[in-house]
Amino acid sequence: MNILLINHYAGSPRHGMEYRPYYLAREWVREGHRVTIIAASFSHLRANNPVLNGVVTEESIDGIRYIWLKTPAYQGNGIGRIFNMLQFVIRLRTYIKTLMAHERIDAVIASSTYPLDIYPARLIQKEQKARLIFEVHDLWPLSPMELGNIPAWHPYIMVMQKAENDAYRYCDHVVSILPCAETHMRNHGLKPNKFTAIPNGISVDEWQKYHGELPNEHKNLLLQLKNNRKIVIGYAGAFGIANSLNTVIDAAKLCDNKNVVFVLVGQGPEKGQLQTKVNKHCLSNVFFLPPVNKTLIPSLLNSFDGCIITWQRNRLYRFGISPNKLMDYMMAGKPIIHAVEAGNDPVQDAGCGISVPPEDPQAIADAIRTLASMSVAEREAMGQRGKEYVMKHHDYKILAKQFLKVLEG
């Protein structure tokens, strides 16, 4: 097949997040398919944005044809980001026929977070009689409406709502990382039997190859804690409001087991105030470390006795969750404390940890007390269940095959 994947925020190991388009495309290429990814030149998610040599820049990454369309830089979620979106869609509509002029496209995937890319994707569908797949990562415009309290009559929301409704009507099938979103989509025009949930995943082969040496700062602290026979509960990821790490600090205040420590690894806008809070309360059981390269995540997680992931209480999670860091935690074979209220719970499904309500420090402290009371063998067995689950259900080799069945119809 010749597959065209449109994703504004697509990245690669060379550029950083978003990784899902790359890993799916890489597996399709390995299966003998031709894949083109069209993405914006600037994304706030990427560690490194591509170097351009014009409005349109092409390069090949691991056999995948990448086309970068020049878009302006921005910060935050204000007017700059909206202009970036519009510029991408306008350029996509302007250049897509030229870029694909000598291609016979079998399937086109409209995969950007927001739904406006359905319109240029629809052009390819109609012109080349290609199969059109709408991939949903987040529900737009519901997400900005509920998170930003933006009313339904706002012009921006009205435009996005029409695009979402049109996407469900135009597409041959919807693929989503949100397992509980089908009813919402049906209410907005999706026909029955046109929904498939395919979660985020992990490259098992790649993960097993990543075993580098941690930086001295990380290595020395973790070795010291191990020598002092501490039970290390670790977090590796972003320090944002949505990560609800204040709840972890509050749980640490309540933790009465002197052998339990918390090691929080990463960076983000909330890190400064979290460190201030720890110092204010003189907490000796919480440690902070800078982020590590993606290739060192296995080595880092292997140094933990358990992992923690916390969420805010958010109504949007009723449609389901599929966090990348959870896949890493499970692949590491570590028991997981999961503070969440959502339409699904992979930790509960796998039996690889203890799930508690979000924003409840006492519940987290109680869960950690339970985890600490287990024998090492019991914790290892719990973690092993997670590893087996993620290898069976979240390996990108498996997910790419599931997606390919949808593409083939």
What are the pLDDT digits (tens) for 274-295? 999 999 999 999 999 999 988 8
User: How confident is the model at residue 68, as a pLDDT?
Assistant: 96
What are the pLDDT digits (tens) for 15-25? 988 999 999 99
Cis peptide before 18 (omega within 30 of 0): yes
For 160-181, the DSSP string reads HHHHHHHHHHH-SEEEES-TT-
In angstroms, the CA 191 to CA 174 distance is 10
Where residue 76 falls among pLDDT bands split at 50, 70, 90? confident
Q: What is the mean pLDDT of the chain?
A: 94
Where residue 94 falls among pLDDT bands split at 50, 70, 90? confident
Query: Is pLDDT at 77 greater than 80 in this prediction?
Result: no
- What percent of the chain is modeled with pLDDT above 70? 100
What are the pLDDT digits (tens) for 355-377? 999 999 999 999 999 999 999 99
Domain boundaries in the chain? Answer: 2-201+395-408, 205-393
What homologous superfamily does CATH list for 205-393? Glycogen Phosphorylase B; (3.40.50.2000)
Tell which wins on pLDDT, 93 or 390.
Answer: 390
Q: Closest by alpha carbon to 65, among 130, 3, 127, 132?
A: 3
In angstroms, the CA 249 to CA 266 distance is 15
Hunting for tokens 């389901």 — which residue is that? 320
**What residue type is 38 in one-letter code?**
I
User: How confident is the model at residue 166, as a pLDDT?
Assistant: 97
User: How confident is the model at residue 209, as a pLDDT?
Assistant: 85
In angstroms, the CA 324 to CA 357 distance is 20
2-201+395-408 and 205-393, same CATH topology: yes
Q: How many CB atoms lie within 10 A of CB 193?
A: 7
Q: What is the mean pLDDT of residues 101-109?
A: 90
Cα–Cα distances in Å, from 241 out to 244, 274, 320? Answer: 6, 11, 19
Residue pair 238/16 in contact (Cβ under 8 Å)? The answer is no
Cα–Cα distances in Å, from 252 out to 61, 263, 354? Answer: 44, 11, 17
User: How confident is the model at residue 100, as a pLDDT?
Assistant: 76
Query: Is pLDDT at 41 greater than 90 in this prediction?
Result: yes
In angstroms, the CA 119 to CA 355 distance is 41
Where residue 108 falls among pLDDT bands split at 50, 70, 90? very high
Where residue 310 falls among pLDDT bands split at 50, 70, 90? very high
- 255-281 burial, b for 16+ CB within 10 Å, e for fewer? beeeebbbbbbbebebbeebeebbeee
The three-point CA angle 392-113-243 to 5° equals 70
Q: What is the mean pLDDT of residues 311-338?
A: 95
User: How confident is the model at residue 98, as a pLDDT?
Assistant: 81
CATH architecture of 2-201+395-408: 3-Layer(aba) Sandwich (3.40)
Cis peptide before 50 (omega within 30 of 0): no
User: How confident is the model at residue 147, as a pLDDT?
Assistant: 83
User: How confident is the model at residue 399, as a pLDDT?
Assistant: 98
Q: What is the mean pLDDT of residues 190-208?
A: 95
What are the pLDDT digits (tens) for 129-162? 999 999 999 999 999 898 888 899 999 899 999 9
User: How confident is the model at residue 99, as a pLDDT?
Assistant: 75
Residue pair 340/325 in contact (Cβ under 8 Å)? The answer is no
Tell which wins on pLDDT, 366 or 210.
Answer: 366
CA atoms 225, 230, 235, 236: torsion sign:
positive
Residues in the chain: 409
User: How confident is the model at residue 376, as a pLDDT?
Assistant: 94
User: How confident is the model at residue 315, as a pLDDT?
Assistant: 93
Contacts 24+ apart (CB under 8 A), 203-207: 203/23, 203/395, 203/396, 204/331, 204/391, 204/395, 204/396, 204/397, 205/397, 207/298, 207/328, 207/331
- What percent of the chain is modeled with pLDDT above 90? 84
Where residue 262 falls among pLDDT bands split at 50, 70, 90? very high
